[in-house]
A and B are shown apart, each in its own frame.
Chain A
Amino acid sequence: MKILVLQLARLGDIYMTWPALRGLRRQYPEAEIHLLVRPRFAAATEGLEAVDQVRLLPTTEFLAPVMQTDADVDGAVGRVQYYLETLKAEGFDRIVNLSYSPVSSWIVKSISTETTEVQGYTRHADGWLSVADDVSAFYHAQGGVTGASRVHLTDLFASVLNVDLIAEDWQAPVFADQSVGEFDVILHPGASENAKTVSAFHWGRLIRRLHDLHPQARMAMIGTANEAALAESILQLIPGTAVENLVGSTKVRDLFPLIGRAKLVIGGDSVAMHIGSLTGTPCFNLSIGPVNPYETGPRSGGSWILRADSADLLKLEEAGQVAADLLNGVIPRVGFSLLGQEAGFGSEFAWGLVRALYLGDDFPVVDDLRFVQAAEKLHEMNATVVEQLRKLSADDPFLANLLDRADEVLDAVVAFCPEAGVLVRWLKTEKTRIPPQDKAGISARMLDLHEQFGKVLRLYVWVDEPGKEGDHGPVQSER
Chain B
Amino acid sequence: MTEMETYLNTALQRLEKAAREILKTSGYDNKFEATQVLKELVKEQVRDEDSRTATRQTR
Contact = CB atoms under 8 A, between A and B. Distances in A.
Interface string A70-97: 0101101110110011000000000000
B37 A80 contact: yes
Interface string B16-59: 00100000000010111111111011111100011110111111
Interface in A96-120: 99-103, 105-107, 109-110
Q: Chain A: interface secondary structure?
A: helix
Contact of B43 (A10, A81, A102, A109): A102
A62 B38 contact: yes
A140 B14 CA distance: 30
A127 interface: yes
Counting chain B CB atoms within 10 Å of each CB, which of A71, A77, A78 scores highest?
Answer: A77
A129 interface: yes
B34 A81 contact: yes
A311 interface: no
Nearest to A88: B30
A299 interface: no
Given A71-B10, A80-B34, A81-B30, A106 B40 contact: yes
A400 interface: no
A402 interface: no
Contacts of A59: 41, 49
A422 interface: no
A109 B33 contact: yes
B29 to A, nearest CB: 10
Contacts of B42: 63, 66
Interface in A183-228: 192-193
Contacts of A63: 38, 41-42, 45
Contact of A100 (B8, B36, B58): B58
Interface in A8-32: 8-10, 13
Contacts of A107: 37
A102 to B, nearest CB: 4
B40 A103 contact: yes
A356 interface: no
A192 B52 contact: yes
B14 A73 contact: yes
Given A8-B51, A103-B44, A105-B58, A127 B38 contact: no
Contacts of A78: 34
A38 B55 CA distance: 14
A20 B56 CA distance: 20
Contacts of B52: 9-10, 13, 192-193
Size class of the contact patch on chain A: 35 or more
A26 to B, nearest CB: 26
Contact of A129 (B54, B56, B58): B58
A121 interface: yes
A222 B4 CA distance: 30
Contacts of A140: 58-59
Nearest to B22: A77
A67 interface: yes
Nearest to A111: B33
A69 B32 CA distance: 23
B3 to A, nearest CB: 10
A62 B49 CA distance: 14
Contacts of B41: 59, 62-63, 103
- Residue with the highest number of chain A CB atoms closer than 10 Å, among B31, B32, B55, B56: B55
Contacts of A74: 18
Nearest to A78: B34
B26 to A, nearest CB: 12
A68 B6 CA distance: 11
A78 B5 CA distance: 23
Interface of A: 8-10, 13, 38, 40, 59, 62-63, 66-69, 71, 73-74, 76-78, 80-81, 84-85, 99-103, 105-107, 109-110, 121, 123, 126-127, 129, 140-141, 143-145, 192-193, 425, 428-429
20 contacts: A9-B52, A9-B54, A9-B55, A13-B52, A13-B55, A59-B41, A62-B41, A63-B45, A73-B14, A77-B18, A77-B34, A80-B38, A84-B30, A100-B58, A101-B57, A102-B43, A103-B44, A110-B37, A141-B59, A144-B59
Question: Would you list the 7 A-B pairs with minimal beta carbon distance, nearest first?
Answer: A103-B40, A81-B34, A144-B56, A66-B11, A80-B34, A101-B54, A110-B33
